Every structure is written in C-alpha cells, then in structure tokens.
Amino acid sequence: QVQLVESGGGLVQPGGSLRLSCVASGSIWIIDAMGWYRQAPGNQRELVASIGSGGSTNYADSVKGRFTISRDNAKNTVYLQMNSLRPEDTAVYYCKAQILLYGSTKWSDYWGQGTQVTVSS
C-alpha cells in the first residue's frame, strides 16, 4: 500500500509564501514523475507543476516565476515553494506520483489526500 502525505498548507495573506511537502511511503521500487495539482470549488483539477526523475520541470503559466517544484529522491519527497501568493491560488493542493512497486512491472499513479491553501487578507 502506497501512501502520499501532503503538508504545509494553511492560511496566508496575499504576497506571502508557503512551502508544501509530499512524502511517499510503501513498497516503492521507483518513482518517476511527481507533480502538484490543485482544485478550487467548481473547477477541474489542474496541473500546477511537475518534475521528472531527471529534474526536468513544467509549470502552469499562472504560477511561473512564483512557484518552484523540487524533489529529494532519497527521501521520496517532492516540494512546492509558493511565493507571491494571490487569492486565486486558493485551492486544495494534491500531490501525485508515478510509482513502480516492488515485484510489479506496471506503473501506477498515486494521489495524496490534499492540503488546503487559502490566500486571503
């Protein structure tokens, strides 16, 4: 059983910063791509940022220059540093990881439960 646990969300004023963390645990052999997604009420879940196993990154246009995704492969952890936060960044943020389990030849996507980020004055 794979578990992804996010942390670091909370309430912050516009212009403030937060750092989200996501730790994957379980019978993990390899983690390929990892990413952060967000979903606001009434909206679809959207990609915020992703990072490949080799360190390549992609960002949504709305967060470029403000957010930075990084990972620590030894800790099975992905981070999202969020600066210059805006009210429109308010959403539940979810971590996703592409994982190959021990004894398996099939890759699967795993999701965390999400962490709330609220940007409000």
pLDDT tens-digit profile of 23-76? 999 999 999 999 999 999 999 999 999 999 999 999 999 999 999 999 999 999
111: how many CB neighbours lie within 10 A of its CB?
15
Position 1 scores a pLDDT of 80
Q: What percent of the chain has pLDDT over 90?
A: 99
Average model confidence (pLDDT) across the chain: 97
121: how many CB neighbours lie within 10 A of its CB?
6
Burial zone of 13 (CB within 10 Å; 0-12 exposed, 13-18 middle, 19+ buried): exposed
How many Cα atoms sit within 13 Å of 9 on the Cβ side?
19
